[in-house]
Structure 1
């Protein structure tokens, strides 16, 4: 795999959302390899495989069956090998409580699922182009919620 290819993982139980995300990824100019997971358990099983190449960014839906996004976030932040993964919460929820809880528990950014394909593409592109070193060192509630 070329070095400049970004490894991206998406865990989302909604098949339409996964398909749209994949189509948006295909249209942006950044080279990516996308791994899709139907729920948090599939994602965590994959991330904890012995010789797996970890993704640079994990997009995590909050409301999923079997294991939800919040449980995954906890496991990622408490796992020595996964601890530093970039986690983008990708959810339809715009509840202050969800945003607050994911922020406090170590997510790197919060994205409300956009209503249009164009906005989705823009959101993904914005996240992939972020200067994460700066973003995470200056992380506060104001830049945690991605605004499109």
Structure 2
């Protein structure tokens, strides 16, 4: 993805404050984006079913959500032929090694532990948006996932 193009980003997170902070950081990093938020996994999958195509350029997915958690959503996304190639960025407060391993095995493209500062959040978003996921060839493994605090 290139910064000069409009892009569609989905964010699934049940924490309203985290969503507002994410949106503020996103607007400072890249103004040419359309952010669609879901408050839980059921809402995210409903959005995917009604809004795709066109698919979002990237999905930021929290793990700990009510009704349908991030693991369940990730599995549904990666097992759906229409959605499986959409980059899914796990964006969670957890940093437990077994959780990271599990999301990797389920097909996540990247793991970002929610940063504790606004500048680090902007840095994480910028890094994701600057990545050309169609050309991303390094092996997906927990060692390549990012932890920002």
Structure 2 length normalisation: TM-score?
Answer: 0.90
Cα offset for 1:52? 4.0
Cα offset for 1:29? 3.5
Higher relative contact order (CA 8 A, sep 6+): 2
**Counterpart position of 2:146:** 146
Moved more, 40-49 or 51-60: 51-60
Contact 2:92 2:112 in 1 (8 A): yes
Partner Cα distance (1:136, 1:84) in 2? 13
Partner Cα distance (1:120, 1:50) in 2? 27
Q: CA-to-partner distance for each residue in 1:45-96, whole Å, 9 max, x for gaps?
A: 0101275421010000000000100000010011111111110000000000
Cα offset for 1:137? 4.7
Q: Secondary structure at the match of 1:80?
A: coil
Gaps in structure 1 of 5+ consecutive residues: none
**Between Structure 1 and Structure 2, how many residues are aligned?**
145
Contact 1:9 1:35 in 2 (8 A): yes
- What is the RMSD computed on CA atoms of the aligned residues? 1.7
**Counterpart position of 1:48:** 49
Partner Cα distance (2:12, 2:26) in 1? 14
**Counterpart position of 2:106:** 105
CA change 1:138–1:71 in 2 (3 A) is same
**Counterpart position of 2:90:** 89
1:36 aligns with 2:37: yes
Contact 2:78 2:84 in 1 (8 A): yes
Moved more, 47-56 or 37-46: 47-56
Structure 1 length normalisation: TM-score?
Answer: 0.91
CA change 1:63–1:51 in 2 (3 A) is closer
**Counterpart position of 2:7:** 6
CA change 1:15–1:4 in 2 (3 A) is same
Contact 1:25 1:121 in 2 (8 A): yes
Q: Structure 1 runs of 4+ off > 4 angstroms?
A: none
